[in-house]
Chains A and B, each alone.
Chain A
Amino acid sequence: MAVDLHTRFPPSFGDNPWAYGFALFGLTIISAMSLAILAGILLEARHNRQIDAAVGNVAVKSLSPAITTLTLYRVKLACLLSTIAIGASPDVLVMLAWGEASDRMMAALFTLDRLGDGLALLPFVAFVMTVALSGGSVAHRLALDPYQVDLTPRWSRIRQKLQIALCAFLIAIGVTLYKASL
């Protein structure tokens, strides 16, 4: 069955602006937050490696190529966030371009969406394998050294996340209003 690409909203939303706006907001915020945290993790890891290399950290060299609990934590988080970003980001693009882009571009976006849905399996399998292989060793190691984590909300910690949430909200409201007016 051929799908009409020139409707206001994708068919799954039943021409309901609220459903479209809510989904767009949710997917945009999920994709943006995942990418932001993922970028933060990768940058932090790169920064740590640069410092280790600059000071010639012997402790890290002696462990190589063994994986530390810190690396394991980063790998697990990065795999999960990649799964989310690869799965959700193309959906955001399809929703934004719906009813505005050319048929050719929509076809390319659908292909990207399908590829993303399939490829999201790779980081997820990597996450599952990491969890399975590391077993309970991380939990055991962390239990040996109990540390009270400070969860007090501070502006410096949540500012970027709030900015992203606000931007995603404004984009979702604006694009929904625009498409509803077509």
Chain B
Amino acid sequence: MKVAASGAVAVAAPTFGPAVVTLLGVDVPIFALTLSVIGLLMARSIAPPPLRKLNKRQEAALTVLLLVILFVIVTGQLVSSKPLGAGMAVMWGIGLGFSGLLVIEFAGDAVMGWLRRAFGREEK
């Protein structure tokens, strides 16, 4: 695996375009991120709709939220300390796409739990 001058591991080294672009201090593996987005969109089109009915706008908002979570994971901000490779990024994309609303509800519950604990409110 090639190592970039900054010390960060260079993910994806196809002969076209830069492998990693640094945006606001975050190393973004362009190639892996693109493939993971394709994986997420494919899984979103396959996955059965959630039991809670969503309209088109809510569906679009859900996809955007999942894309944000995917970006955070693929750039290595959440799960690993370095940007993911293409294979792992695609796996995350497909996984998030299939999980859909469940991931958002899980994340929402976790955030609400933190907020309740932070403000000292008992969970009912």
User: In whole angstroms, what is the CA distance A35 to B15 when docked?
Assistant: 34
Q: Mark B24-44, 1 if CB is under 8 A from A, else 0.
A: 000000011011001101100
Number of A-B contacts (CB under 8 A): 77
CB <8 Å contact, B46 and A36: yes
Chain A hits for B18, CB < 8 A: none
Residues of A with C-beta under 8 A to B85: 99-100, 178
B45 at the interface (CB under 8 A from A): yes
Complex Cα–Cα for A58 and B84 (A): 56
Interface flags for B89-102 (1: CB within 8 Å of A; 0: not) read: 01100000000000
A60-B44 Cα distance, complex, nearest whole Å: 33
Q: How far is the CA of A100 from the CA of B45 in the complex (A)?
A: 27
A42 at the interface (CB under 8 A from B): yes
**CB pair B87 A43 closer than 8 Å:** no
With the chains together, A162 CA to B105 CA distance in Å? 31
**B48 touches A (CB below 8 Å):** yes
When the two chains form the complex, which single residue of A93, A97, A101, A167 contacts B42, counting CB atoms closer than 8 Å?
Answer: A167
Is the C-beta of B47 less than 8 angstroms from some C-beta in chain A?
yes
Could you say which of A99, A101, A163, A177 has the most chain B C-beta atoms within 10 Å of its C-beta?
A: A177
With both beta carbons as reference points, the residue of chain B lying nearest to A169 in the complex is identified as: B38
Task: Kindly report which residue of chain B lies nearest to residue A174, judged by CB atoms.
Answer: B35
Interface flag for A171 (CB, 8 Å):
yes
User: Which residue of the partner chain A has the closest CB to B91?
Assistant: A96
Q: How far is the CA of A100 from the CA of B42 in the complex (A)?
A: 22
Which A residues between 85 and 138 are near B, CB-CB below 8 angstroms? 93, 95-101
Known: A39-B48, A177-B14, A178-B12. A32 touches B42 (CB 8 A): yes
Q: What's the Cα separation between A43 and B84 when bound, in Å?
A: 34
Scoring A98, A167, A168, A170 by chain B CB atoms within 10 A of each residue's CB, the highest score goes to: A167
B86 surroundings in chain A (CB, below 8 A): 100, 174-175, 178-179
Is A3 an interface position by the 8 A CB rule?
no
- Residues of chain B within 8 A (CB-CB) of A160 are 45
Q: From residue B74, how far is it (CB to closest CB) to chain A in Å?
A: 12
Sorted nearest first, the 10 A-B pairs with minimum C-beta distance are: A167-B42, A178-B86, A96-B87, A100-B85, A181-B13, A39-B48, A174-B35, A36-B46, A100-B88, A100-B87
Which B residues contact A (CB, under 8 angstroms)? 1, 12-15, 31-32, 34-35, 38-39, 41-42, 45-49, 84-88, 90-91
Besides the known contacts A32-B46, A170-B35, 6 further A-B residue pairs in the complex with CB atoms under 8 A apart: A43-B49, A96-B91, A171-B38, A178-B12, A178-B13, A181-B12
